[in-house]
Amino acid sequence: MQQTKQDNEQFYFSFDINYPNTKAGLSQWNRQYSLNAYYAGKHWATRKKDADFWHALVFEALYKKQQPLVMANAPVTITCLFNDSLDCSNHAAMVKMIEDALKGVIIKDDSPKYVKGITMGFHEDACIRVIVQSWQS
């Protein structure tokens, strides 16, 4: 389910980020990018490398969508849905890097003026689903 919609201040945009295609690859991915890895004292240079990787991953997913990118013109919420073995809060570092990659592309900025909320959860598809939609006050 990948869509873009924007009418009368309503905005909806979703895209998928594929997981590594092996169980070992997914296990390594989880060790590298979980919030636990950051609490363990990851060096700043490694965190920068991770952020660059996630920005490229998001840009690749947006490119594969083969749909014109539309920037939200009003506040949004971002939902990230996962399907892996991590507990929900362990995805926080990944969500932050995804949000940062969307700045200037789908969202104007990640300040509270533009991003009113972030939700994390799970779904059954073998990807990370990112949904950006109009904030409902």
Q: What's 126's domain CATH number?
A: 3.30.1330
Distance CA 76, CA 55 (A): 19
DSSP 20: P
pLDDT in tens, the chain (137 residues): 445 555 556 899 999 999 999 999 999 998 898 887 877 888 989 999 999 999 999 999 999 988 888 899 999 999 999 999 899 999 999 999 999 999 999 999 999 999 999 999 999 999 999 999 999 87
Residue ranges making up the domain that contains 12: 4-134
Label residues 15-26 b or e (16+ Cβ within 10 Å = b).
bbbebeeeeeeb
Task: Report the number of distinct structural domains present in the chain.
Answer: 1
For residue 130, what are its two tokens?
């990112």
Residue 80 CB contacts under 8 Å (≥ 6 apart), including other chains: 91, 94, 95, 98, 118, 119, 120, 121, 128, 129, 130, 131
